[in-house]
Chain A
Amino acid sequence: MIPAAFDYLAPSTVEEALRALAEHGDEAKLMAGGQSLLPVLRMRLNAPELVIDLGRIDSLRGVRDDGDAVVVGAMTQHSVVGSDPLVAQHAALVSKAIEHLADAQVRHRGTFGGALAHADPAGDLGAPVLALGAELVVAGPGGTRTVPAQEFFVDLFETAIGDDEVLVEVRIPKHTGWGARYEKFVRVAHQWPIVAVAAAVRTEGGTIAEARIGLTNMGSTPLRAHAVEAALVGRPATEDGVREAAALAAEGANPPSDLNGDADYRRHLATVLTRRAVLAAAQG
Protein backbone atom coordinates (compact mmCIF):
# COMPACT_ATOMS: atom_id res chain seq x y z
CA MET A 1 0.00 0.00 0.00
CA ILE A 2 1.52 3.21 -1.15
CA PRO A 3 0.17 6.63 -0.09
CA ALA A 4 -0.22 9.40 -2.59
CA ALA A 5 2.80 11.70 -2.75
CA PHE A 6 3.05 14.40 -0.05
CA ASP A 7 5.54 16.96 1.19
CA TYR A 8 7.05 16.44 4.60
CA LEU A 9 7.96 18.94 7.28
CA ALA A 10 9.42 18.20 10.71
CA PRO A 11 9.39 21.43 12.77
CA SER A 12 11.18 21.60 16.10
CA THR A 13 8.78 24.03 17.81
CA VAL A 14 5.02 24.31 18.17
CA GLU A 15 5.18 27.82 16.69
CA GLU A 16 6.76 26.50 13.52
CA ALA A 17 4.11 23.83 13.28
CA LEU A 18 1.38 26.44 13.73
CA ARG A 19 2.90 28.64 11.02
CA ALA A 20 2.94 25.71 8.61
CA LEU A 21 -0.68 24.91 9.47
CA ALA A 22 -1.68 28.54 8.93
CA GLU A 23 0.02 28.59 5.57
CA HIS A 24 -1.32 25.29 4.20
CA GLY A 25 -4.75 25.19 5.83
CA ASP A 26 -6.63 21.96 5.42
CA GLU A 27 -4.13 20.71 2.82
CA ALA A 28 -1.83 19.91 5.75
CA LYS A 29 -2.10 17.07 8.24
CA LEU A 30 -0.34 16.74 11.56
CA MET A 31 1.40 13.47 12.29
CA ALA A 32 2.09 12.21 15.79
CA GLY A 33 2.89 8.48 16.05
CA GLY A 34 1.41 7.86 12.63
CA GLN A 35 -0.40 4.75 13.82
CA SER A 36 -3.78 5.95 12.66
CA LEU A 37 -2.70 8.54 10.09
CA LEU A 38 -0.47 6.27 8.03
CA PRO A 39 -3.08 3.57 7.44
CA VAL A 40 -5.47 6.31 6.31
CA LEU A 41 -2.88 7.63 3.87
CA ARG A 42 -1.84 4.20 2.69
CA MET A 43 -5.40 3.19 2.00
CA ARG A 44 -5.74 6.52 0.21
CA LEU A 45 -8.69 7.58 2.30
CA ASN A 46 -6.94 10.92 2.59
CA ALA A 47 -4.22 12.60 0.54
CA PRO A 48 -2.84 15.72 2.25
CA GLU A 49 -0.31 17.83 0.36
CA LEU A 50 1.81 18.28 3.46
CA VAL A 51 2.47 16.07 6.45
CA ILE A 52 3.75 17.94 9.49
CA ASP A 53 5.61 15.54 11.75
CA LEU A 54 5.44 16.63 15.40
CA GLY A 55 8.07 14.07 16.37
CA ARG A 56 10.91 16.56 16.75
CA ILE A 57 9.11 18.93 19.09
CA ASP A 58 10.64 17.94 22.41
CA SER A 59 8.39 20.26 24.45
CA LEU A 60 5.43 18.05 23.59
CA ARG A 61 6.89 14.98 25.25
CA GLY A 62 6.79 13.80 28.83
CA VAL A 63 4.69 13.66 31.98
CA ARG A 64 4.94 16.24 34.73
CA ASP A 65 3.45 17.01 38.11
CA ASP A 66 1.59 20.32 38.24
CA GLY A 67 -0.01 20.73 41.63
CA ASP A 68 -3.46 19.20 41.53
CA ALA A 69 -2.98 17.80 38.04
CA VAL A 70 -0.78 15.39 36.15
CA VAL A 71 0.13 16.85 32.78
CA VAL A 72 0.80 14.59 29.82
CA GLY A 73 2.47 16.04 26.73
CA ALA A 74 0.61 15.30 23.50
CA MET A 75 3.57 13.50 21.93
CA THR A 76 4.20 11.14 24.85
CA GLN A 77 3.98 7.56 23.62
CA HIS A 78 1.43 5.16 25.10
CA SER A 79 4.26 2.97 26.41
CA VAL A 80 5.73 5.92 28.33
CA VAL A 81 2.43 7.11 29.79
CA GLY A 82 1.46 3.54 30.66
CA SER A 83 4.58 2.99 32.74
CA ASP A 84 4.79 6.45 34.29
CA PRO A 85 4.70 6.37 38.11
CA LEU A 86 2.96 9.77 38.42
CA VAL A 87 0.16 8.61 36.15
CA ALA A 88 -0.08 5.31 38.00
CA GLN A 89 -0.36 7.10 41.33
CA HIS A 90 -2.72 9.93 40.46
CA ALA A 91 -4.57 8.77 37.36
CA ALA A 92 -4.48 4.99 37.60
CA LEU A 93 -7.46 4.71 35.27
CA VAL A 94 -5.29 5.95 32.41
CA SER A 95 -2.53 3.42 33.16
CA LYS A 96 -5.09 0.63 33.24
CA ALA A 97 -6.59 1.63 29.90
CA ILE A 98 -3.18 1.72 28.26
CA GLU A 99 -2.34 -1.79 29.45
CA HIS A 100 -4.85 -3.16 26.97
CA LEU A 101 -4.43 -0.61 24.21
CA ALA A 102 -3.45 -2.24 20.88
CA ASP A 103 -0.19 -4.18 20.94
CA ALA A 104 3.35 -3.45 22.09
CA GLN A 105 4.47 -2.10 18.71
CA VAL A 106 1.57 0.33 18.46
CA ARG A 107 1.99 1.41 22.10
CA HIS A 108 5.60 2.19 21.40
CA ARG A 109 4.79 4.49 18.49
CA GLY A 110 1.31 5.80 19.14
CA THR A 111 0.91 8.90 21.30
CA PHE A 112 -1.47 10.13 23.96
CA GLY A 113 -2.32 13.28 22.04
CA GLY A 114 -2.54 11.52 18.69
CA ALA A 115 -5.03 9.02 20.01
CA LEU A 116 -7.23 11.72 21.55
CA ALA A 117 -7.02 13.96 18.49
CA HIS A 118 -7.95 11.04 16.26
CA ALA A 119 -11.14 10.62 18.33
CA ASP A 120 -11.94 7.07 17.29
CA PRO A 121 -15.10 6.24 19.28
CA ALA A 122 -13.51 2.85 19.97
CA GLY A 123 -10.26 4.45 21.17
CA ASP A 124 -9.30 3.45 24.68
CA LEU A 125 -8.18 6.83 26.01
CA GLY A 126 -11.28 8.96 25.52
CA ALA A 127 -13.38 7.35 28.24
CA PRO A 128 -10.77 7.58 31.03
CA VAL A 129 -9.84 11.14 30.07
CA LEU A 130 -13.52 12.12 30.04
CA ALA A 131 -14.30 10.29 33.28
CA LEU A 132 -11.44 11.96 35.12
CA GLY A 133 -12.56 15.39 33.93
CA ALA A 134 -9.33 16.21 32.13
CA GLU A 135 -8.65 19.43 30.26
CA LEU A 136 -7.05 19.53 26.85
CA VAL A 137 -4.69 22.35 26.05
CA VAL A 138 -4.74 23.47 22.45
CA ALA A 139 -2.34 25.94 20.84
CA GLY A 140 -3.47 28.12 17.95
CA PRO A 141 -2.45 31.24 16.10
CA GLY A 142 -3.88 33.39 18.89
CA GLY A 143 -2.23 31.52 21.77
CA THR A 144 -3.40 28.56 23.82
CA ARG A 145 -6.84 27.67 25.09
CA THR A 146 -8.10 24.99 27.41
CA VAL A 147 -10.96 22.69 26.42
CA PRO A 148 -12.74 20.56 29.03
CA ALA A 149 -12.92 16.91 27.98
CA GLN A 150 -16.72 16.97 27.78
CA GLU A 151 -16.47 19.64 25.07
CA PHE A 152 -13.47 18.14 23.33
CA PHE A 153 -15.12 15.14 21.66
CA VAL A 154 -17.54 16.49 19.09
CA ASP A 155 -18.39 13.49 16.92
CA LEU A 156 -16.96 10.47 15.21
CA PHE A 157 -13.32 11.42 14.43
CA GLU A 158 -14.13 15.03 15.25
CA THR A 159 -12.78 17.10 18.14
CA ALA A 160 -12.76 20.73 19.21
CA ILE A 161 -9.27 21.15 17.74
CA GLY A 162 -9.45 23.65 14.90
CA ASP A 163 -7.76 23.17 11.52
CA ASP A 164 -5.10 25.68 12.52
CA GLU A 165 -4.50 24.29 16.02
CA VAL A 166 -2.27 21.74 17.73
CA LEU A 167 -3.12 19.75 20.84
CA VAL A 168 -0.17 20.30 23.16
CA GLU A 169 -0.97 18.67 26.45
CA VAL A 170 -3.62 17.07 28.61
CA ARG A 171 -4.15 18.09 32.25
CA ILE A 172 -5.60 15.27 34.30
CA PRO A 173 -6.88 16.22 37.79
CA LYS A 174 -5.29 14.01 40.40
CA HIS A 175 -7.44 11.17 41.64
CA THR A 176 -5.00 9.97 44.24
CA GLY A 177 -6.25 7.04 46.25
CA TRP A 178 -9.11 6.21 43.88
CA GLY A 179 -9.55 2.65 42.75
CA ALA A 180 -9.57 2.18 38.99
CA ARG A 181 -10.52 -0.44 36.48
CA TYR A 182 -10.73 -0.51 32.70
CA GLU A 183 -12.96 -3.36 31.48
CA LYS A 184 -12.29 -3.90 27.81
CA PHE A 185 -14.31 -6.44 25.88
CA VAL A 186 -12.61 -7.84 22.78
CA ARG A 187 -12.66 -11.00 20.68
CA VAL A 188 -8.92 -11.05 19.98
CA ALA A 189 -6.23 -9.41 22.06
CA HIS A 190 -5.04 -6.81 19.55
CA GLN A 191 -8.51 -5.48 18.83
CA TRP A 192 -10.16 -2.16 19.56
CA PRO A 193 -12.80 -2.61 22.24
CA ILE A 194 -16.25 -3.78 21.20
CA VAL A 195 -17.30 -1.95 24.36
CA ALA A 196 -15.17 -0.80 27.27
CA VAL A 197 -15.94 0.77 30.59
CA ALA A 198 -13.57 3.01 32.53
CA ALA A 199 -14.38 3.29 36.22
CA ALA A 200 -12.67 5.25 38.97
CA VAL A 201 -14.18 4.87 42.41
CA ARG A 202 -13.48 6.41 45.81
CA THR A 203 -14.75 4.40 48.72
CA GLU A 204 -15.19 5.25 52.34
CA GLY A 205 -15.39 2.23 54.59
CA GLY A 206 -16.92 -0.13 52.06
CA THR A 207 -19.32 2.46 50.71
CA ILE A 208 -18.94 4.22 47.40
CA ALA A 209 -18.36 7.91 48.03
CA GLU A 210 -17.72 9.04 44.48
CA ALA A 211 -17.58 7.35 41.11
CA ARG A 212 -16.53 8.41 37.65
CA ILE A 213 -17.54 6.23 34.73
CA GLY A 214 -16.66 6.56 31.07
CA LEU A 215 -17.93 4.40 28.22
CA THR A 216 -15.97 3.49 25.09
CA ASN A 217 -17.65 2.72 21.77
CA MET A 218 -21.18 3.27 23.02
CA GLY A 219 -21.79 6.17 20.68
CA SER A 220 -19.96 8.42 18.27
CA THR A 221 -17.87 9.87 21.12
CA PRO A 222 -16.74 8.62 24.50
CA LEU A 223 -19.59 8.97 26.99
CA ARG A 224 -19.78 9.81 30.65
CA ALA A 225 -22.31 7.65 32.52
CA HIS A 226 -23.58 10.37 34.86
CA ALA A 227 -26.71 8.43 35.79
CA VAL A 228 -24.66 5.50 37.00
CA GLU A 229 -22.26 7.77 38.87
CA ALA A 230 -25.11 9.44 40.76
CA ALA A 231 -26.83 6.18 41.57
CA LEU A 232 -23.64 4.65 42.96
CA VAL A 233 -23.04 7.25 45.62
CA GLY A 234 -23.70 5.82 49.05
CA ARG A 235 -24.08 2.26 47.80
CA PRO A 236 -22.13 -0.58 49.34
CA ALA A 237 -19.28 -1.80 47.16
CA THR A 238 -20.81 -5.22 46.68
CA GLU A 239 -22.24 -7.00 43.66
CA ASP A 240 -25.79 -6.39 44.82
CA GLY A 241 -25.02 -2.85 45.82
CA VAL A 242 -23.69 -1.98 42.41
CA ARG A 243 -26.00 -3.99 40.14
CA GLU A 244 -28.91 -1.59 40.05
CA ALA A 245 -26.80 1.45 39.30
CA ALA A 246 -24.81 -0.37 36.65
CA ALA A 247 -28.01 -1.31 34.88
CA LEU A 248 -28.35 2.36 33.93
CA ALA A 249 -25.08 2.35 32.01
CA ALA A 250 -26.54 2.09 28.52
CA GLU A 251 -29.43 4.43 29.07
CA GLY A 252 -29.58 6.88 26.22
CA ALA A 253 -26.36 5.63 24.68
CA ASN A 254 -26.36 5.09 20.96
CA PRO A 255 -23.89 2.32 20.19
CA PRO A 256 -23.05 1.17 16.67
CA SER A 257 -23.88 -2.19 15.07
CA ASP A 258 -21.04 -3.88 13.25
CA LEU A 259 -19.26 -7.18 12.70
CA ASN A 260 -18.56 -7.53 16.39
CA GLY A 261 -21.99 -6.95 17.73
CA ASP A 262 -25.36 -5.31 17.38
CA ALA A 263 -26.31 -2.24 19.34
CA ASP A 264 -28.53 -4.15 21.78
CA TYR A 265 -25.71 -6.55 22.59
CA ARG A 266 -23.41 -3.61 23.23
CA ARG A 267 -25.98 -2.08 25.58
CA HIS A 268 -26.13 -5.31 27.47
CA LEU A 269 -22.34 -5.52 27.63
CA ALA A 270 -22.11 -1.97 28.91
CA THR A 271 -24.21 -2.80 31.96
CA VAL A 272 -22.30 -5.99 32.75
CA LEU A 273 -18.91 -4.38 32.25
CA THR A 274 -19.90 -1.35 34.29
CA ARG A 275 -20.87 -3.57 37.20
CA ARG A 276 -17.62 -5.50 36.96
CA ALA A 277 -15.47 -2.39 36.52
CA VAL A 278 -17.03 -0.56 39.44
CA LEU A 279 -16.71 -3.56 41.72
CA ALA A 280 -13.11 -4.17 40.77
CA ALA A 281 -12.28 -0.48 41.13
CA ALA A 282 -13.96 -0.31 44.52
CA GLN A 283 -12.21 -3.41 45.75
CA GLY A 284 -8.82 -2.66 44.15
Chain B
Amino acid sequence: MDSNFPSEKLEEICDDECQNKTRIFCQRCPSLVLSPKQAKLVKKEFFLPNMFQKNDHTPIEGVTLNDFWLVTNMMTFDNVGFSKAVDNIMYLICADCEMGPIGWHSIDDKKAYYIAVARVKHG
Protein backbone atom coordinates (compact mmCIF):
# COMPACT_ATOMS: atom_id res chain seq x y z
CA MET B 1 0.00 0.00 0.00
CA ASP B 2 1.69 3.09 -1.17
CA SER B 3 -1.07 5.67 -1.26
CA ASN B 4 -2.07 8.38 1.12
CA PHE B 5 -3.71 7.41 4.33
CA PRO B 6 -7.51 7.65 4.68
CA SER B 7 -8.23 10.32 7.27
CA GLU B 8 -10.62 8.20 9.35
CA LYS B 9 -7.77 5.73 9.79
CA LEU B 10 -5.53 8.46 11.14
CA GLU B 11 -7.72 8.74 14.21
CA GLU B 12 -7.06 5.14 15.03
CA ILE B 13 -3.33 5.59 15.13
CA CYS B 14 -2.93 8.94 16.86
CA ASP B 15 -4.06 10.16 20.26
CA ASP B 16 -5.49 13.51 21.36
CA GLU B 17 -2.09 15.13 21.19
CA CYS B 18 -1.50 13.76 17.68
CA GLN B 19 1.13 11.35 18.98
CA ASN B 20 1.37 7.77 17.84
CA LYS B 21 -0.90 5.57 19.96
CA THR B 22 0.69 2.33 18.90
CA ARG B 23 4.07 0.93 18.16
CA ILE B 24 5.31 1.45 14.62
CA PHE B 25 6.81 -1.48 12.72
CA CYS B 26 8.31 -2.22 9.36
CA GLN B 27 5.70 -3.51 6.90
CA ARG B 28 7.86 -6.33 5.75
CA CYS B 29 9.49 -7.68 8.91
CA PRO B 30 8.93 -7.49 12.71
CA SER B 31 11.46 -4.70 13.22
CA LEU B 32 10.27 -2.03 15.67
CA VAL B 33 10.85 1.47 14.33
CA LEU B 34 9.20 3.60 17.01
CA SER B 35 7.66 3.03 20.44
CA PRO B 36 4.31 4.62 21.34
CA LYS B 37 4.06 8.35 21.96
CA GLN B 38 7.39 9.18 20.40
CA ALA B 39 6.25 10.89 17.22
CA LYS B 40 3.79 13.52 16.16
CA LEU B 41 1.52 13.29 13.16
CA VAL B 42 2.10 16.11 10.70
CA LYS B 43 0.85 17.08 7.26
CA LYS B 44 3.67 17.64 4.86
CA GLU B 45 4.07 17.04 1.17
CA PHE B 46 7.10 15.04 0.26
CA PHE B 47 8.07 12.89 -2.68
CA LEU B 48 9.45 9.47 -1.79
CA PRO B 49 10.82 6.98 -4.32
CA ASN B 50 8.89 3.72 -4.46
CA MET B 51 9.90 0.87 -2.18
CA PHE B 52 9.28 -1.87 -4.68
CA GLN B 53 11.14 -0.64 -7.70
CA LYS B 54 13.67 -3.34 -8.45
CA ASN B 55 14.37 -2.44 -12.02
CA ASP B 56 17.26 -0.07 -12.49
CA HIS B 57 16.64 0.56 -16.16
CA THR B 58 13.79 2.95 -15.56
CA PRO B 59 13.99 6.35 -13.90
CA ILE B 60 13.18 6.56 -10.19
CA GLU B 61 9.46 6.41 -9.68
CA GLY B 62 7.69 7.47 -6.55
CA VAL B 63 4.74 9.17 -4.93
CA THR B 64 4.06 12.37 -3.08
CA LEU B 65 2.93 11.54 0.44
CA ASN B 66 1.16 13.84 2.88
CA ASP B 67 1.04 12.14 6.28
CA PHE B 68 4.20 11.73 8.29
CA TRP B 69 5.25 10.90 11.81
CA LEU B 70 7.63 13.60 12.95
CA VAL B 71 10.44 12.69 15.34
CA THR B 72 12.62 15.45 16.72
CA ASN B 73 15.63 13.44 17.88
CA MET B 74 17.13 10.63 15.83
CA MET B 75 17.88 8.65 18.98
CA THR B 76 14.15 8.33 19.55
CA PHE B 77 14.03 5.59 16.94
CA ASP B 78 14.20 2.05 18.20
CA ASN B 79 15.65 0.72 14.97
CA VAL B 80 16.22 2.58 11.74
CA GLY B 81 18.79 2.96 9.01
CA PHE B 82 19.94 6.18 7.34
CA SER B 83 20.95 6.27 3.71
CA LYS B 84 23.73 8.46 2.45
CA ALA B 85 22.55 11.97 1.64
CA VAL B 86 21.32 12.84 -1.84
CA ASP B 87 20.72 16.55 -2.40
CA ASN B 88 20.80 17.01 1.39
CA ILE B 89 18.15 14.35 1.98
CA MET B 90 18.87 11.16 3.88
CA TYR B 91 16.31 8.42 3.35
CA LEU B 92 15.19 6.25 6.25
CA ILE B 93 14.93 2.48 5.93
CA CYS B 94 14.13 -0.53 8.09
CA ALA B 95 17.27 -1.38 10.08
CA ASP B 96 16.63 -5.09 9.72
CA CYS B 97 15.45 -5.89 6.20
CA GLU B 98 16.45 -2.55 4.68
CA MET B 99 13.05 -1.99 3.11
CA GLY B 100 12.62 1.63 2.22
CA PRO B 101 12.48 4.52 1.90
CA ILE B 102 10.07 4.55 4.83
CA GLY B 103 10.86 8.18 5.54
CA TRP B 104 13.33 11.00 5.16
CA HIS B 105 15.48 13.57 6.91
CA SER B 106 16.91 16.81 5.61
CA ILE B 107 20.44 17.43 6.82
CA ASP B 108 19.55 21.12 7.04
CA ASP B 109 17.13 20.44 9.88
CA LYS B 110 18.66 18.41 12.68
CA LYS B 111 15.39 18.30 14.58
CA ALA B 112 13.12 16.71 12.02
CA TYR B 113 12.92 13.07 10.98
CA TYR B 114 9.86 11.95 9.04
CA ILE B 115 8.35 8.47 8.78
CA ALA B 116 5.66 8.02 6.14
CA VAL B 117 2.43 6.83 7.75
CA ALA B 118 1.58 4.85 4.62
CA ARG B 119 4.87 2.96 4.64
CA VAL B 120 4.88 1.45 8.12
CA LYS B 121 2.64 -0.85 10.12
CA HIS B 122 0.79 0.34 13.23
CA GLY B 123 -0.07 -1.92 16.09
Are A and B physically bound partners? Answer: no
Binding site for B on A (CB under 8 A): none
